[in-house]
Amino acid sequence: MLAEHCALTAELLGRASIGERDIDATVVAADLSIVDNISALKAVSAKLTRVAKRIFLIDRKGRLSVVQAYALGATHVLANPVSGKQLLAKLANDDAAAIASTSSIMSGGQEAAAAGAASIACMFSAVISGSPIDVKGAKQAGSGIADSVAEHGLSEWLTTVRRHHEGTYQHCLLVTGIAVDFGLSLGMAKVDIERLYSAAMFHDIGKAKIPLAVLDKPGRLDERERALIESHPAAGCDILKDTPGISAEILDAVRHHHEYLDGSGYPDALGAASISDIVRILTISDILPR
């Protein structure tokens, strides 16, 4: 698919020398149900994340496979069978010159985005498998995002995330960055910025319960599908309610980030007086990236 369009090297996973030379993109084709493949990818993960674009080809677009790919460092995930046109489109949608000219600025942002995406992927995986959620890790990833936005600005963060991530994880990263920038623009204290990014990192965890066919549907949702989507705030609150390290404020933000001042939101149709400031900021930040 690629030989006529790119200068490329093909390597077996266990012998990959990723990151030892200049690479614009890496395409990983591996069965993630095989433990040895996962181990091989973990062994090269430090080198893999130095490559700006990391496309994983998976055999089935099942929730666990997608989550596993993102947790292992994917920036884009395609389900087989993949056409040459699809793969080339993923490879071509970045301006290489623009990336090169901003590499020194973006490297820190890329690291924060990769850590954030991996943390969100791990959260989704934990929900699916019934494992404990790494609350501390998610908050640390949120802190990295806050540092990146404070240092390089929101515009650079949005560009980095949109260039290197997609789907639900991209949305969560964008919302976290926007919420942080919102707080910084209001002159909020560090402790309040921490409250914002913590709420933002967890706000869409309920989407782990939504089937991918509905969550990623490109067209208009029918009534049943819309009801499923609108169940994610309450589902997220239920997932987190007994989790150590999750405050009542975070639970409030997770459950109510789709409530509106006029009472037209969901799931509880709250009015303005019942919606806290942190939820208001999160709701605005959640709407902006669409």
Strands (E), 30-129: 53-58, 76-79
Answer whether 52's CB lies under 8 Å from 110's CB. yes
Answer whether 173's CB lies under 8 Å from 165's CB. yes
The yes-or-no answer to whether 13-93 and 103-287 have a common fold is: no
User: For residue range 150-173, what is the model confidence (pLDDT) as tens digits?
Assistant: 998 898 898 888 877 777 888 999
The predicted model gives 203-213 an average pLDDT of 92
Look at residue 4 in the predicted model and tell me its pLDDT.
82
**Burial class of residue 181 in the structure, from the number of CB atoms within 10 Å of its CB (0-12 exposed, 13-18 middle, 19+ buried):** buried
Is the Cα torsion angle 267, 269, 271, 273 positive or negative in sign?
negative
Look at residue 37 in the predicted model and tell me its pLDDT.
85
- What percentage of residues in the chain have a pLDDT greater than 70? 91
Q: What angle do CA 13, 14, 18 make, to 5 degrees?
A: 60
Check whether 62 has a pLDDT greater than 80: no
Q: Which long-range contacts (CB under 8 A, 24 or more apart) does 191-196 make?
A: 193/146, 194/139, 194/142, 194/143, 194/146, 195/249, 195/278, 196/278, 196/281, 196/282
Enter the DSSP assignment of 133: P
At residue 54, the 3 state secondary structure works out as strand
Check whether 227 has a pLDDT greater than 90: yes
CA dist 102 and 169 (Å) reads: 23
Place of tokens 């936005």: 149
Q: Which amino acid is at 22?
A: D
Alpha-carbon distance values, 216 to 63, 210, 229, 265, 267 (Å)? 11, 10, 11, 22, 21
User: For residue range 68-91, what is the model confidence (pLDDT) as tens digits?
Assistant: 787 787 888 888 888 888 888 888
Check whether 96 has a pLDDT greater than 50: no
CA dist 240 and 257 (Å) reads: 15
The domain spans of the chain are 13-93, 103-287
Look at residue 101 in the predicted model and tell me its pLDDT.
39
More confident site: 49 or 95: 49
User: For residue range 5-60, what is the model confidence (pLDDT) as tens digits?
Assistant: 888 888 887 777 765 567 888 899 988 888 888 888 888 877 777 787 889 998 87
Residues whose CB is less than 8 angstroms from the CB of residue 144 and which lie 6 or more positions away in sequence, other chains included? 111, 112, 115, 116
Does domain 13-93 bear CATH number 3.40.50.1260?
no
User: For residue range 256-286, what is the model confidence (pLDDT) as tens digits?
Assistant: 999 999 999 999 999 999 999 999 999 999 9
Name the nearest CA neighbour of 52 among 5, 12, 99, 97.
99
Angle between helices 167-185 and 135-152 (to 10 degrees): 60
Mean pLDDT over each residue of the chain, to the nearest integer = 86
Strands (E), the chain: 25-29, 53-58, 76-79
Model confidence band, residue 103 (pLDDT cutoffs 50, 70, 90): very low
CATH class held by domain 103-287 = mainly alpha
User: For residue range 104-114, what is the model confidence (pLDDT) as tens digits?
Assistant: 444 568 889 88
Look at residue 285 in the predicted model and tell me its pLDDT.
93
Look at residue 93 in the predicted model and tell me its pLDDT.
64
Answer whether 96's CB lies under 8 Å from 131's CB. no
Answer whether 266's CB lies under 8 Å from 272's CB. no
pTM of the model: 0.75
